[in-house]
Amino acid sequence: MSTVALITGAASGIGASVARRLAAGGAKCVLVDLDGEGVERLAKEVGGAWLAADVSTEQASHDAVELAEERYGRLDLVHLNAGIAGGPDLAAFDPARYRKIVGVNIDGVVFGVVAGVPLLKRSGGGAIVVTASLAGLVGFDGDPVYTMTKHAVVGLVRALAGPLAKENIRIGAVCPGFTDTPLVADAKELFVSAGFPLLTADDVAAAVETAFYAEDSGTLLVVQPGRQPVPYRYAGVPGPATGQRPPSS
Ligand code: NAD
């Protein structure tokens, strides 16, 4: 029986690399993206199903999970990855931009969990990985609202790790630094000229695969260029109540 994976933001960058990796390993993929042409193209390449939809609506996640069930009869892995950067400047506040980034980066993840968990349960368990960011762990003053959205999804992962573990579902997040995808295209020249190393989308995709099979629910994998991904440990506060062993440091 093939593993069935649902990936949001799958037409480009990290999501597309995850789709290619999972499909190469034999998984059946359900790919979701706002970019209909891009997601259809990738679905043809990897042999999966696709849906052009906006993850900031509840309907998108509902339809994607329904597609997974109709087409493949089950769901094992969910990668909640769709995201945008460029939150509003707080000194020249644009409410529409604020709602948009919160809608994609937070609502999209919440709706994906809400829609995905029942089918994961009916499939006997599985795993959810959220693409957060290093900006979900540190204060990135270049984009405070983006930073807030990524901290929010890290909080969701930590809070759900215990309850979902009881349902045989692991949930975790990857927290990558700057990655060479269209999301950072405008700043790429600056990074290159400063000799600042960037991750590749496939570096992050490899970490997503690791996170799917992490021993502990609630694992937050920090992904940085030239290093193995490492689980982030909060100091001085309790970890997720998973009933699993406490972190050693
Ligand atoms: P990307 O722009 O290459 O890919 C993002 C994909 O999400 C695109 O295909 C886009 O069409 C899709 N998308 C955007 N809004 C959507 C919506 N409302 N509904 C459905 N799909 C939507 O960027 P990426 O770098 O691969 O980003 C993937 C994730 O990684 C994002 O959550 C981003 O915040 C996170 N991230 C990126 C970096 C980086 O430096 N590139 C670093 C850390 C975290």
User: 190 or 225: which carries more pLDDT confidence?
Assistant: 225
Q: What is the Cα–Cα distance from 176 to 229, expressed in whole angstroms? A: 9
CATH superfamily of 4-224: NAD(P)-binding Rossmann-like Domain (3.40.50.720)
Q: What is the pLDDT of residue 195?
A: 86
> For 54, how many CA atoms within 13 A lie in the half-sphere containing its CB?
7
How much distance in Å is there from the Cα of 200 to the middle of ligand 1? Answer: 14
How much distance in Å is there from the Cα of 10 to the middle of ligand 1? Answer: 8
Nearest to 46 by CA among 17, 66, 79, 73: 17
Write the residue with the smallest CA distance to atom 6 of ligand 1: 9
User: 248 or 171: which carries more pLDDT confidence?
Assistant: 171
How far lies 107's CA from each of 66, 112, 118, in Å? 19, 8, 18
Residue 202 clears pLDDT 80, i.e. is over it:
yes
Task: State the CB neighbour count (10 A cutoff) for residue 95.
Answer: 8
Q: pTM of the predicted model, to two decimals?
A: 0.96
How much distance in Å is there from the Cα of 244 to the middle of ligand 1? Answer: 32
For the stretch 54-87, pLDDT in tens is: 999 999 999 999 999 999 999 999 999 999 999 9
How much distance in Å is there from the Cα of 245 to the middle of ligand 1? Answer: 33
For the stretch 15-55, pLDDT in tens is: 999 999 999 999 999 999 999 999 999 999 999 999 999 99
Write the residue with the smallest CA distance to atom 31 of ligand 1: 83
Contact in structure between 124 and 167 (CB atoms under 8 Å): no
Write the residue with the smallest CA distance to atom 12 of ligand 1: 9
Q: What is the pLDDT of residue 167?
A: 96
Strand locations in the chain (E): 4-8, 28-33, 49-52, 77-80, 126-131, 169-176, 220-223, 230-231
DSSP per-residue letters across 178-244: -BSSGGGHHHHHHHHHTT---B-HHHHHHHHHHHHT-SSTT-EEEE-TTS--EE---SSS----SSS
Looking from the CA of residue 180, the nearest atom of ligand 1 is: 41
For the stretch 94-139, pLDDT in tens is: 999 999 999 999 999 999 999 999 999 999 999 999 999 999 999 9
Write the residue with the smallest CA distance to atom 39 of ligand 1: 179
Residues annotated catalytic, as ranges: 146
Which residue of 12, 101, 146 sits with most ligand 1 atoms within 8 Å of its CB, as the best mutation to test the pocket? 12
Q: Largest alpha-carbon pair distance within the chain?
A: 54
Residues with CB under 6 A from ligand 1: 8-9, 11-15, 33-35, 54-56, 81-85, 104, 131, 133, 176, 178-179, 181-184, 201
